[in-house]
Amino acid sequence: MAPQDRPSPGGRKPADVATRLHSAAIHLLRRLRVEDAASGLSGPRASALSVLVFGGPASLGDLARAEQVRPPTMSRLVAGLIKAGLAEAERDPDDRRVQRIRATAKGRGLLEAGRARRVKRLTRDLERLDPAEYAAVAAALDTLERLARPAAS
């Protein structure tokens, strides 16, 4: 392993911070994933549904792009969501090639419940931090959100 690959525990250089932040995000989500089994929703379906719930109605192509997946894949994913009563689709009257897909109340409810379980667990962990640590996380949030935004480059 080359020397610069060691994240140098207290490293402040951007490459070190990036390495550690990347790893922390992976492990944080992996840990929270344990809660997902309870929802009955597969990962890809939950993820697609969340785009509909938090982003509002979208076309199939929009969804495919958002999920970084090819149109045929999203086509079947959406078909599954519709069959399960979690989403519904109608033809756009202005351009009858496109579908307007949206979450149903049932879909919204299921997704919110799943997300609530993950967030609840994370909330408990945050409540156990000492005040200084908690403040550090809270203070970094705005920036983390900016880094997470698609146009962050």
Partner DNA sequence: GAAGTTTAGTTAGCTTAGCTAATCATCAAG
Partner DNA sequence: CTTGATGATTAGCTAAGCTAACTAAACTTC
Q: What is the three-class DSSP state of 8?
A: coil
Name the minimum Å distance from CB 3 to its own copies. 12
H or E, element range at 11: none
Residue 105 within binding range of its own copies, rule CB under 8 A: no
Binding to DNA by CB under 7 A, coded x per residue (else -) over 34-63, reads --------xxxx-------------xxxx-
Binding to DNA by CB under 7 A, coded x per residue (else -) over 98-127, reads xx----------------------------
Q: Report CA torsion sign: 52, 53, 57, 62.
A: negative
Binding to its own copies by CB under 8 A, coded x per residue (else -) over 13-42, reads -xx-xxxxxxxxxxxxxxxxxx--------
The residues, ordered by sequence, that sit 6+ positions from 52 with a Cβ below 8 Å of its Cβ are 58, 63, 87, 101, 102, 103, 107
Q: Where does this chain touch its own copies (CB under 8 A) — which range of 57-65, 74-82, 92-100, 135-143?
A: 135-143
Q: How far apart are CA 39 and CA 27, in angstroms?
A: 21
